[in-house]
Structure 1
Amino acid sequence: MKRVLWALLALPISVMAAEPVATTAAVAAPVVNSGIAGQLTQLVFGLLLVLGIIFFLAWLLRRVQQAGPAGKGQVIELIGSRALGPRDRLMLVQVGNEQILLGLSPGTITALHVLKEPVPVPSTSEKATPDFAQQLLKILGKDQKDTK
């Protein structure tokens, strides 16, 4: 397979390197056209090779990131977040048994308060279905339990 690929890539180079025989103008014309065709072929193969390398590296990067630590084994967990403005927000973070209220602004993170008792976190196992979705399911005649 590699030999075929190298032969295809080397073909346009060998066509460009060959000097045309100038016997007649009619014979010389196809050689010039094949030189342009060779250049276009080389350009297309080069482009495909670069795109292939880009997609391979993107795939490899995703695989390496997935191999990192799992989300359940994390010590720090984000409990909630609230935007205060376009660039400022409040975040409630749990570290072990402590919950810390953080203020985030561009370039700074400030610990605002350490909570003595952790705020109870509602379970996320039961998803809330929006009103529109419930109405649509009624119209379609489907039960909510079927949508899981």
Structure 2
Amino acid sequence: MKRSLSAVLAAASSLWVEVAVAAAPAAAPVAAAAATESPTAQLTQLVLGLLLVLGLIFFLAWLLRRVQHATPGSKQVIEVVGVRTVGPRDRLLLVQIGDEQILIGHTPGTLTALHVMKQPVAMPSTVRPATPEFAQRLMELLGKDQKDKS
């Protein structure tokens, strides 16, 4: 899936280069015409170009998210149930593998199984997964937080 996405991006970038090379001889008259345009027209063109680029970035981010979630058998065998930061570079991970849960210590150089749970830890339904402050605020502004609760 990643190979096909990278192939599409490579084809799009090569097409972009071909269009830019083809438009290069016509760039001189455009630059001369731009000098005679009003500042308002130039500002409008700049803002529309910026909006186009931002729209393209958001579209590609959305597409990447859709492609990552579209994998067949989206239910993973190994899932990270919870993560707790213990130090600047040390974490505890609770990993679900089938019906077992394993507590793992993660340091920069090692992963160590600390404990295998005999009884899986039950997650309360009211607990939301931890999100970074910026991402949480952005989801609230976009209204996505309300959709997740229902």
With normalisation by structure 1, the TM-score equals: 0.47
Greater Cα radius of gyration, structure 1 or 2: 1
Higher relative contact order at CA 8 Å, sep ≥6: structure 1 or structure 2?
A: 1
